[in-house]
A and B are shown apart, each in its own frame.
Chain A
Amino acid sequence: MADAIRAEGLVKRYGGRAALDGLDLRVGEGTVHGLLGPNGAGKTTAVRVLTTLTGFDAGRAEVCGCDVRREAELLRGMIGLTGQYAAVDETLSGRQNLVMFGRLLRLDRRAAARRAAELIDRFDLGEVADRSAGGYSGGTRRRLDLAVGLVHTPTLLFLDEPTTGLDPRSRAQVWATVRELAAEGTTVLLTTQYLEEADLLADRISVMDRGRVVAEGTSDALKAVIGADRVEAVARDAADLPQLARLVGEVAGAPAETDPDTRRVGAPAVDRVAVLTGVAREVERAGIALTDLGTRRPTLDEVFLRLTTAPRGAAPAARQEPKEAAA
């Protein structure tokens, strides 16, 4: 499979601070790739460098087979950019925006008007199409932004945090659009702060922290590394904690961690249901009284903590797809 994006050792400094600090990224053609990371991880800088908006200080980047620096002009004809920072003209109406971008993408007047009408239909913008885009609600604006990104057929579409700040309904609409695009074969690079979003849409995920990729793989492979979900049991009596920890550890198949302050025992739970029912059964058999028992997904904070503090070699293990991920 050819690579739509191949970046090696990208460095971009702003003043003394490295926004990108040796970024390596490979995105296969025709895939949806998630770039996951907290605020300030360098996701937007990565997008800006790969879309030719910003220069870089070191490294190499090839996008759609074009060298980002030397073949920027050729590249710009093949990519689409949409999301948080790429915006629309706020004074123009939605329709005027779509027509303007159509004209800039070399459509003649009639084709641009027709394409605008199609996109207004597809993105459900009919009611607001002739009003100033500056007055749109957040969700409507994001839909227009997305529509503008699809005036032509980009080979590769960059979606920079497309759902940040959106209500659940608008978010679902954006997700549906991304799936449609993927089905049509467009390569998508999606940056997001939401684990759930990357999990839902992306074929592969790169986790970014402090300007570099700290883990890369399929969603399943990453979960295996970061311990996927966790099972947690809270004992009523602190005296039961050692026994509870042993039980939970045995069922989960991994050493359990104990927090004496909250009397909480936790362990990774790869198979949530099996682990949860197993712990419940064993706890009952041992006669330990609990005040709480459940599983929960790791928060993004935990993921980053885990990945950035993981011992050397643990994170790169995610690069090899484990066998169970195929199931």
Chain B
Amino acid sequence: MSRTDRATPPGPRHGTVTVTSGGALRPAPVAPPRGPVERCRRAVADGATMTRRYLTHVARAPEEIALYFVLPIVFILVFGYVFGAGMATSGSAYREFLVPGVFVMTMLYGMGATASAVANDAGRGVVDRFRAMPVARSALLTGRSAADLVRALLETAVLVGCGLLVGWTWHHGVGNALLALALVLLLRLAVTWTGIWLGLLVPNPDTVGVIVFPLAFPLTALSNVFVAPELMPGWLGAVAEWNPLSATVAAIRELFGNPGFGSDSWAAQHALLLAVAWPVALIALFAPLAVRRYQRLGD
């Protein structure tokens, strides 16, 4: 076959399919997007392809799915019964207080898995291949965050089921309860982008796993997840009240109608606002940082 039969970019035959000597259909080289609308459409399509990739990984490792379910259950049982037993209030009242905290804690602890999955990927040849292809630069990362949201949905469902079993429930109607769950997922999105950035920053899956825990643990302890900030020493209580996790926990306690220890600080009074503002701010910070970092992986 002569050379002139080939589609030679960037000519008018871009995006068409040429027939080669073998009779097989070989798609031509890919033209760049024409205009911002097509660029967006491609970014979404590529992100969806990457989401499917990550979900296929999960489907091929069922033991990992089991882990998704175990962690929330363990959290509720251990913290609900062990801590609940030592509280002045009755155990079941403490569990009402605790379950919203465990929702948030579970979201936070997903960061380790996100970061090490990204760090794992960053060291692999397949990501080089993505980067040498006409694939949206954000695709791998948005795909990762979408896959994480799917996981978070599963975890949340398990948490709701477990919560109901240990005596927790919502008191202000299904609408408010769903809104609360939406806030939980929003926080998860913020956690995911932070994790993605961390995973790209320290591209060694082992190191990342070790780094995340010492970050996550104090963040949980210094919040209103286990203990009301008013019970803490003054400055510690202030830190706990402004903790992004506390904002979400306080907001969903309010929406679920679970007992919180209403403080009169500004942060506690505006928990709902902060439960939206904090995650949005974190995403606005870490998503662009992560994409930039990803683009410079090769250097």
Contact = CB atoms under 8 A, between A and B. Distances in A.
Interface in B103-152: 124-126, 128-135, 139
Interface in A54-78: 54-55, 64, 73-74, 76-78
Given A53-B298, A74-B32, A91-B57, A105 B133 contact: yes
A174 interface: no
Contacts of B28: 152-153
A73 B133 CA distance: 8
A132 interface: yes
Interface stretch (B18-26, B211-219, B239-247): B18-26
B269 interface: no
B132 A53 contact: yes
Contacts of B30: 76-78, 105-106, 152
28 contacts: A52-B131, A53-B128, A55-B296, A73-B32, A81-B128, A81-B129, A86-B128, A86-B132, A87-B128, A89-B126, A92-B60, A96-B56, A101-B129, A104-B46, A104-B130, A106-B27, A106-B42, A106-B134, A114-B25, A122-B22, A150-B26, A151-B27, A152-B29, A153-B7, A153-B28, A153-B29, A154-B29, A183-B21
A288 B129 CA distance: 61
B132 A51 contact: yes
B27 A85 contact: no
Given A77-B134, A86-B132, A92-B56, A105 B299 contact: no
B6 interface: yes
A259 to B, nearest CB: 45
A48 interface: yes
B130 to A, nearest CB: 7
Overall SS of chain B's interface: loop
Contacts of A90: 124, 126
Interface of B: 1-3, 6-10, 15, 17-18, 20-22, 24-32, 42, 45-46, 49, 52-53, 56-57, 60-61, 124-126, 128-135, 139, 296, 298-299
Contacts of A102: 27
The interface size bin for chain A is: 35 or more
A125 interface: no
A184 B6 contact: yes
A270 B10 CA distance: 45
Contacts of B24: 118, 122
Contacts of A159: none
Contacts of B57: 91-92
A152 B132 CA distance: 13
Nearest to B27: A152
Given A89-B53, A103-B49, 7 more contacts: A52-B132, A88-B126, A92-B53, A100-B53, A150-B26, A151-B27, A184-B1
